[in-house]
Amino acid sequence: MDPLLSTALEAAEAAARVHLLHFGDVGLDEAREKAHSDFVTRVDLEAQEAAMAVIVQRHPAHRILAEEDTPGEAGWWCGRTWPEDGGYLWILDPLDGTTNFLHRHPQFAASVGVGRRVEPAAGGSDRDPSAVLEAGAVVAARTGERWWARRGQGAFKNGLPIGVSRLRALKSALIGTGFPFKEPDLVSRYLQGFQRVLPASGGVRRGGSASMDLCYLAEGILDGFWEEATLSPWDVAAGLAILQEAGGLATRLDGSEIDLEDGSVLAANSPDLLRELGTLVRGP
């Protein structure tokens, strides 16, 4: 297996083993609330340590952006920027779906992605440097689901190749979403979009783990997905790497490129469905 992909998968599995070790033993009384309904537990921290240990051992010169960041650890955290030297940046969520985990709901996962900054191709382009996601792995310990992808080599679930659905009619599409629970001021706007999407689609589902939602989109269980401006890069990096290799598309709600800042996500199995879903979510 490719070294980057192998590291991503092993790091995600290391974190997932921590999830299983503590599942059912850690409750809300042990959690610390970072923001409204946004919790962190010793499981998040222990899982992050396990995943980071794999990355640092295999790629000591690479940099890491992790949810429970530890800027005091030299070389392990570089902030919200891609390394300008073209070096690799690992983007890690040790426990995506902490609230689900605390309530023993099975939809939670470890998410590990890696990318790098690239210069525009030769030929006179004046476009700013952008970034590419090289590999990603999402491991859901409780459900036994493991997704992974390497740029240019396809996407897989539990060893079998996956791809987005071929459904193109929004009226039959199953759409995933996430609630803007961290930003109450967005709830009213979100609900207006929800009211437009629900009757126009085949249904809307909210699972509570963006990385898993993107993987379900990648394998054709969902046909589209959107979430308002509450997602961080560690929530989506691995899932986006897998979705892209499965043939899916993702942007911000306004159509702009997804970067390392917190923001919205709009994703679908095709350009047409992406456009139609985005129109409904944004509204008049």
Cα dihedral 20, 220, 187, 79, rounded to 10, equals 60
Residue with tokens 């990355």, as numbered in its chain:
55
Across the chain, how many H-helices and E-strands are there? Answer: 7, 14
User: What's this model's pTM, rounded to 2 decimal places?
Assistant: 0.92
CB 258 within 8 A of CB 251: yes
* CA–CA dist 101, 179 (Å, integer): 17
Report how far residue 8's alpha carbon sits from residue 126's, in angstroms, rounded to the nearest whole number.
33
Q: What does each of the 284 residues of the chain score in pLDDT, given as a tens digit?
A: 799 999 999 999 999 999 999 888 765 556 555 444 445 678 889 999 999 999 999 999 999 999 876 544 444 555 677 888 889 999 999 999 988 999 999 999 999 999 998 876 665 445 555 889 999 999 999 999 999 999 999 999 999 999 999 999 999 999 999 998 878 888 999 999 999 999 999 999 999 999 999 999 999 999 999 998 789 999 999 999 999 999 999 999 999 999 888 999 999 999 999 999 999 999 98
The answer to whether 211 touches 266, Cβ cutoff 8 Å, is no
- Give the number of C-alpha atoms closer than 13 A to the C-alpha of residue 147, restricted to the C-beta side: 33
